[in-house]
Copies of this chain bind each other. A is one copy, B any other.
Amino acid sequence: MARSTDTQNGPLDSQAAIERTLSVIGDKWSILVVRAVLRGVRRFDELIDDLGIARPVLAERLKRLVAHDVLAKVPYQEHPARYEYRLTEAGLALSPVLVALVRWSETHLPNVEPTTALVHAPCGTELEQAFWCRTCATTFGPSAIRGVQADAAVGADHPGDHSG
């Protein structure tokens, strides 16, 4: 509520600015959606397949990103009207954020295998159990498992990451 320095803010001190950015792309999926579009994944079901995001969630994210002028919804055929999503200038301008995120991961986070499935734990059942994160010293429930390698889920040396 009462923040100490609302005035006299330097470049790194713009809490409001950070929060406003996060209010647009600060959720778990938005940045990933932006990145997917940047990679060329532009259509709804492609994004569904590519990201493993739930349908209503993707729909809402796309709507928000379009509303905030990060993405543009452009038609690519007519007969059944079909649209795809493209980055706007503002969306493209998010690249530095992505780069910063990637660089930090590469320089300051322990490596994991690039084949690690990071969005969803495998649907198999042997991982449908609690997961102990050695780094966090926390136990995560099955649905919290993110980035767990299929064969090294429990007891491995910080096999992956988790959200939450």
Contact = CB atoms under 8 A, between A and B. Distances in A.
Interface of A: 1-7, 9, 11-24, 26-28, 31-32, 35, 38-39, 41, 49-52, 63-64, 67-69, 89-90, 93-109, 112, 114-120, 123, 135-138, 146-147, 160-164
Contacts of A64: 136, 138
Contact of A102 (B21, B50, B107): B21
Tally of this chain's copies: 2
21 contacts: A1-B52, A2-B52, A3-B50, A3-B119, A6-B114, A12-B38, A12-B95, A12-B99, A14-B102, A15-B32, A17-B101, A17-B109, A18-B35, A19-B146, A20-B105, A22-B28, A23-B146, A26-B28, A69-B108, A93-B108, A97-B101
A35 B15 contact: yes
